[in-house]
Amino acid sequence: MSKKKRTAAIMLSIAALSLSLAACGKTADQSSPSPSPAPTASPSASAAASPFTAASPTPAKERTLTDGLGHQVKIPAQPKTIIASYLEDYLVALGVKPAAQWSVANGIQDYLQGSLKGIPTIAYDLPFEAVSSFNPDLLIIGPNSTVEGGKYDQYNKIAPTFVLGDEVNGDWRKALAKIGEVLGKNDEAKKALDDYNKKAADAKAKIQAAAPGKSIAAIWLVSKQFFVVSDKLSSGNVLYQDLGFKVPAAVTELAATGKASWNPISLEKLAQLDADFIVLINSDGSGAQSLQDAVWKSIPAVKNGKMFEYPASSSWLYYGPVASSQMVDNVVANVAK
């Protein structure tokens, strides 16, 4: 893929990420390098607050469930051909292979390809003809905005269409539970969450033993612009809520004034970043001029060798049970080794 196409893929990936997180919908221009506005409701930070009701066996007959927009949706007894664009993280966690996987500008969710390799792609905006070509028996859609403007009725003519809605879609734990309910995989969803909570708790203990009271920040470099993750959203939720790192003052300040999961930060402001560790998600590549700047090299965590770099193809720009689990593994390998 050319650099130009790769940059476009990353931009649209993060626009769709914010769409996946947003509790109030996403309307940002997907050609912009700035991530879209942050949700008004933050994801659940408590591993103890389970979104699950009593587990139920795999259904043997068609059921009618109410989706996040109030639609009464007839769910097939055992759906076989499922399209759940940009919700594939949850399907992978539940052991389900979709009929097609989300894509944008020749890019896909690389971090899931261990499970989704070979699955055909479908454009992020779900063109009706493309959806119909897969002859799905169930569509699962995340945010409200995807079905606005009469689109729901058109999708529903193709296959039963269940919309999570912004409130559920903005919290991966709730989304996992709901998708598990829709697919008749309550037990699998509960186990996936229990496994993640245990992994995060064990990782937190290891991290606090190896680096007690330390702070961390996730920084994203794309098109020569730096962004810092919010303290409650995306990978920030994993770092600060799940793993217990201290939030640097600069991150708190930007999260209070910014309106995105990833907020722009100047190189000069980065020089003041009071983080013991930095996770750098580098979309500009190893030869990025921004990383050769003397100001960047003067940042304490960079100067002290406490900066850990990952490519845009990693899980760090995404959010869900699989992405979060991979991030936890990354942090433990870097900090608690």
For residue range 134-179, what is the model confidence (pLDDT) as tens digits? Answer: 999 999 999 999 999 999 999 999 999 999 999 999 899 999 999 9
Q: What pLDDT, on the 0 to 100 scale, is given for residue 50? A: 67
Domain membership flag for residue 9: no
Residue 185 shares a structural domain with residue 264: no
Domain membership flag for residue 321: yes
Dihedral sign, Cα of residue 196, residue 201, residue 202, residue 206? positive
Determine the Cα–Cα distance for residues 34 and 36; give it in Å rounded to an integer.
6
Residue 227 shares a structural domain with residue 147: no
The last residue of a domain, from among 194, 226, 256: 194
Burial-class residue 110 by CB neighbours within 10 Å (0-12, 13-18, 19+).
Answer: middle
In contact, 137 and 82? CB cutoff 8 Å = yes
Determine the Cα–Cα distance for residues 316 and 252; give it in Å rounded to an integer.
19
Cα within 13 Å of Cα(78), Cβ side: 4
Number of structural domains, the chain? 2
The last residue of a domain, from among 168, 194, 220: 194
Cα within 13 Å of Cα(203), Cβ side: 26
For residue range 56-115, what is the model confidence (pLDDT) as tens digits? Answer: 555 668 999 999 999 999 999 999 999 999 999 999 999 999 999 999 987 899 999 999
Residue 134 shares a structural domain with residue 243: no
Q: What pLDDT, on the 0 to 100 scale, is given for residue 42? A: 36
Q: What pLDDT, on the 0 to 100 scale, is given for residue 23? A: 32
pLDDT at 26 over 80: no
The CATH number covering residue 208 comes to: 3.40.50.1980
Q: What pLDDT, on the 0 to 100 scale, is given for residue 203? A: 98
Residue 129 shares a structural domain with residue 252: no
Q: What pLDDT, on the 0 to 100 scale, is given for residue 52? A: 64
Tokens linked to 165: 């809605």
Residue 124 shares a structural domain with residue 180: yes
What is the residue range of 184's domain?
63-194
Q: What pLDDT, on the 0 to 100 scale, is given for residue 37? A: 30
Domain membership flag for residue 69: yes
Residue 260 shares a structural domain with residue 324: yes
The last residue of a domain, from among 152, 170, 194: 194
Q: What pLDDT, on the 0 to 100 scale, is given for residue 17? A: 42
pLDDT at 16 over 70: no
Burial-class residue 3 by CB neighbours within 10 Å (0-12, 13-18, 19+).
Answer: exposed
Under the banding of pLDDT at 50, 70 and 90, the label for residue 49 is: low
pLDDT at 195 over 50: yes
Q: CA–CA distance from 201 to each of 10, 62, 198, 280, 302 (Å)?
A: 31, 38, 5, 24, 27
Q: What pLDDT, on the 0 to 100 scale, is given for residue 329? A: 98
Residue 123 shares a structural domain with residue 146: yes
Domain membership flag for residue 274: yes
Residue 140 shares a structural domain with residue 238: no
| Residues facing 277 on adjacent strands | 216
Across the chain, the runs of DSSP E, i.e. the strands, are 63-66, 72-75, 82-83, 101-104, 107-108, 121-123, 138-141, 161-163, 216-222, 225-229, 262-265, 277-282, 307-311
One-letter amino acid for residue 2 of the chain:
S
Residue 216 shares a structural domain with residue 253: yes
Domain membership flag for residue 235: yes
Average pLDDT over residues 239-243: 97
Determine the Cα–Cα distance for residues 8 and 71; give it in Å rounded to an integer.
35
For residue range 180-189, what is the model confidence (pLDDT) as tens digits? Answer: 999 999 999 9
Residue 117 shares a structural domain with residue 181: yes
For residue range 269-322, what is the model confidence (pLDDT) as tens digits? Answer: 998 899 999 999 999 998 899 999 999 999 999 999 999 999 999 999 998 999
Which span out of 33-37, 56-60, 221-225 was modeled with the highest average pLDDT? 221-225
Domain membership flag for residue 121: yes
Q: What pLDDT, on the 0 to 100 scale, is given for residue 4? A: 44
Dihedral sign, Cα of residue 204, residue 315, residue 55, residue 142? positive
Q: What pLDDT, on the 0 to 100 scale, is given for residue 51? A: 72
